[in-house]
């Protein structure tokens, strides 16, 4: 059996949150140093609003504070932002979107539209293909 446990490093991107308006949920800046791959995993709970939609965007840059942030071009994504997005009837589902660019820092943002009730969301950045194995446990 193959081992994934020692080859990935999960990092909090968006803490579990109940979103009841249209405020963008801007994720933590993820530092890719020491890792060659990055996939964001989005977990949804109940989405109460009957017409809400949620768009996903990804920024990248070379500055640790992302002061040079630019939208990741489609050619540097694995999957699409459309497929990573979700809506009111996607309760308890998951989404994923990957990054294959060369910038060191990456950030995920989830932006609601027409959302007036509780929507439970969270996201994990899963770093992979580490320069050093095994990865630390628990992750820091």
The pLDDT profile of the chain, 140 residues, written as one tens digit per residue, is 889 999 999 999 999 999 999 999 999 999 999 999 999 999 999 999 999 999 999 999 999 999 999 999 999 999 999 999 999 999 999 999 999 999 999 999 999 999 999 999 999 999 999 999 999 999 98
Helices (H), the chain: 81-84
- What is the per-residue pLDDT for 1? 83
- What is the per-residue pLDDT for 2? 87
- Sorted by sequence, the CB contacts under 8 Å of residue 36 that are 6+ apart come out as 128, 129, 130, 131
- Domains annotated for the chain, with CATH where assigned, are 5-129 (2.60.120.260)
Half-sphere exposure of 96 (CA within 13 A, CB side): 7
How far is Cα 43 from Cα 40, in angstroms, rounded to an integer?
Answer: 10
Indicate the pTM of the whole model: 0.96
How far is Cα 58 from Cα 128, in angstroms, rounded to an integer?
Answer: 18
Tokens representing 102 are: 């060369």
């Amino acid at each position: 059996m193959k081992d994934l446990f020692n080859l990935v490093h999960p990092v909090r991107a968006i803490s579990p949150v109940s979103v009841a308006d249209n405020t963008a949920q801007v994720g933590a800046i993820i530092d890719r140093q020491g890792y060659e791959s990055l996939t964001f995993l989005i977990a949804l709970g109940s989405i109460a609003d009957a017409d809400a939609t949620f768009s996903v965007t990804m920024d990248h840059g070379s500055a640790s504070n992302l002061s040079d942030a630019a939208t990741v071009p489609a050619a540097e994504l694995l999957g699409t932002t459309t497929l990573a997005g979700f809506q009111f009837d996607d309760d308890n589902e998951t989404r994923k979107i990957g990054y294959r660019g060369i910038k060191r820092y990456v950030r995920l943002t989830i932006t609601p539209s027409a959302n007036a009730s509780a929507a439970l969301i969270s996201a994990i950045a899963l770093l992979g293909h580490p320069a050093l194995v095994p990865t630390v446990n628990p992750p820091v």
